[in-house]
Amino acid sequence: MCETEEILQNLKKAAEKKEDTKIIQNLKLLPKETELDDILFLRDLLESDNFEILKVTIELVAELAKIESNRKIFTNEHLVKDIIHLLDYKDLDIVINSIRALGNICYENEEACNIIDKIGVDKLQFILKDDASRKDSELTSKTAGLFLNLLNMSSNLGKVCLKNGLFPIIEDLLAKYSKNCNQNETLLVFLISIINSLEYLFDEQDVPFTKELCKLLIDIFKQSVTPEISIPCLEIFHSQCGRVCASEDIKTLIAKEGVCELLFEHIEKYRHLVEDDESRSILKMACDFIVIVLTGDDCMNLLYQNGEGIVYQNIISWLDSEDPDLLTTSVLAIGNFARKDIHCIHMMKTGISKKLLKILKKYNTSTDIKDVKIQHALLSTLKNLVIPKENKENIIKEGLIDTIYPMINSKYDLVIFKLLGTFRIVIEDQETTALHLATQKELISKLVQWSDTSEHLGVRGEVPRLLAWLIKYSRSTKPIKLLLDTPGAVKCLVDMISSNHALMHNEALTALYLVYVGCPQVSPEDGKVLPRYHQVGSSTYYFHLITGTVILFNVCANLVAIMMCETSIKGLVLPTEMKPDWRFCSVCETITPPRSWHCSVCNICILKRDHHCMFTGCCIGLENHRYFIVFLLYTLAATIYSSYYNLTFVAEYISFDWSWMTVLKLLFPLFTFVIEWTENQFFIFVIIIVLLGAFFTGALLVFHVDLMLKSVVTHEKRVTKYDRGKLENIKLTLGERWYLVWLSPWIESKLPCDGINWDKITSDKEK
């Protein structure tokens, strides 16, 4: 039997016989690297009444727990409870060694951490809170280290600690010990690491990251050169500033306190030591943090300082760096500085754009994925720089278009998105450049291709906008032929009408109008459908041009107005008690006003609901009933107006032999496609479709005007108590300015009823 086993056996025998002196002797003799296979004797010793035995035993347990095999057998709920019970003792050595024992047992031991989580950490938390009653920080430091082990291994414990008020305790300790970083370095490492471990739970647990805490961390970050302190501080700053709802005050405080300047010094000092993935990731985090801070408006102005700011000057120096992360950071940071026009103009004057274009020329033909980040950064920054009007012409002369045009061959949506945005911004009021790009067949084809195949929503949104801007700012009819000859190009513009953004609606309608006006006017001998009936410049020509434009505008604008109006009960504050004629909707689970019905398609109750229009894809109700009536009117006018010219075209340019086949074509155009296919037959088919459209639109208009004059909707009987006479009924649908709403949907016309309080309407009638 070896000496260690002999000591262990003697210890167990002494424990059984409760020979205190021998127990203490053998505990002190037992080597600290002993691997145990049994903990029962230790549990007995930890429950001893002998104070000296407790003191020596817990010290031994703390040392033995450093061995991995011992940690496994020490992962016992009863043993852990015995150790936690020792925290109630007044003796500092026992408490410190108990904390050491728990910390060593829990080191990379999730099961042990879960046991402590189950038992609770109230006693541990009290030790931290009671720090002021102790003369030194040793126990506080050991306890903070234990908490760090627990938080790193137990995902649930962090939430429990925050709910129980751990964070204010940590913040107070940080304030106390940050006054002397050198003497309290280990404790500060633990405290800052705890904050770093809990930081991701702040929003969920409603724990504020205050300016006071941020200032404490900044002061520590400035004083310390220890990576174990500075890196967690940086991680906390990066995370807090990078949140979607990040506080601008925090960013501004960081900028004012010179954190970015200090960070730049550290990067310059240690950049040559970046040789592995870990150090590279730290460098990237530091670079990202600088860029994130500059997203704050106050920070941008504070650090720019009219181009003389230290941070700005440092950022400019990185444009010459061969390190890809520093170069990308420099470009992105310049892009953030360029969010203000006055900064952009100053940068152009100092030659920043030339440097950026020079860098971009090295990457503009690359399709390597590792170059995507720098390509994206360069295009983002150039896009910001060209926003001021005075910069556009200068940067075009510097070769912007020639530099970025080859990037249309990129296969990465992130790059394409920024490329399209840069093209769109730079052509504003630049007629020559817009015309040049608008006549590039390759570019137009690429735009259509991206619109159809790209999964990136930004790309699909930018394509039609760029097409619309090319048409608008080229100020020429030359691009229109290319646009019409490119399959799918016009469809891009038409699809943009269904966008959720009013600005894009206007851009699409403007572009389509310009395409319509600028369509090539050629003779039917050239195989085209659009003959010219009126001499250009004549009064008849302008009459029909204005008439057609007004009709087209009102059809499109009223259609958009129908779809954009909110006519449901969404957002309304409705009473909780049932009034006369009010109903309870079991689907919406709310009381609804009179004349409101639930739509199974829209899945909500609609105020003064008439019907769900399948053509517009929405319900016709109180707010959009006016636009629907006017839309029907102008659609009828459009079909009649079109039919007039269609029939004129047939009479003048298509010869009829008026045989039985001609009659068959007119009556059954689809059937005759089986027999023959000709251009004439297609023309006839279109004409009949338009005529049918006129018939059904007219019928709908008559039907709905009749309902309007009687002040009823399709859900009501033909006679209702809301009938106040024809003129007042018209006002109930079209508003007080009913005589003007026919001119444009932009004309405001207030309705006499809000769709809720119909009792006023009925009471007025009774009077």
Q: Which of 367, 363, 353 is nearest to 395 (CA)?
A: 353
C-beta atoms surrounding 325 within 10 Å:
20
What is the set of active-site residues?
613
Six token digits for residue 13:
């025998």
CA 696 – CA 120 distance, rounded (Å): 75
The DSSP output letter for 39 is -
CA 719 – CA 19 distance, rounded (Å): 106
Contact call for residues 220 and 263 (beta carbons, < 8 A): no
* Cα distance between the two ends of the chain: 115
| Residue 438: HSE in the Cβ half-sphere, 13 Å Cα cutoff | 31
Beta bridge partners of 605: 598
b/e per residue 10-36 (b: at least 16 CB within 10 A): bbbebbeeeeeeebbbbbeebeeeeeb
Q: In what helix (H) or strand (E) does residue 606 lie, and over which residues does it extend?
A: strand 604-606
Contact call for residues 581 and 654 (beta carbons, < 8 A): no
φ, ψ at 620 (rounded to 5°): -95, 120
Residue carrying the six token digits 């008026």? 658
CA dihedral defined by 49, 54, 55, 60, rounded to 10 degrees? 160
φ/ψ region of 605 (left if φ > 0, alpha if ψ in -120 to 50, else beta) reads beta
CA 310 – CA 298 distance, rounded (Å): 16
Contact call for residues 112 and 71 (beta carbons, < 8 A): yes
Per-residue three-class SS string for 341-402:
HHHHHHHHHCCHHHHHHHHHCCCCCCCCHHHHHHHHHHHHHHHHHCCCHHHHHHHHHCCHHH
CA angle 515, 516, 522 (to 5 degrees): 100
- Sequence-distant (6+) residues with CB within 8 A of 760 are 753
φ, ψ at 645 (rounded to 5°): -75, -35
CA 155 – CA 163 distance, rounded (Å): 14
Per-residue three-class SS string for 213-278:
HHHHHHHHHHHCCCHHHHHHHHHHHHHHHHCCCCCHHHHHHHHHCCHHHHHHHHHHHHHHHCCCHH
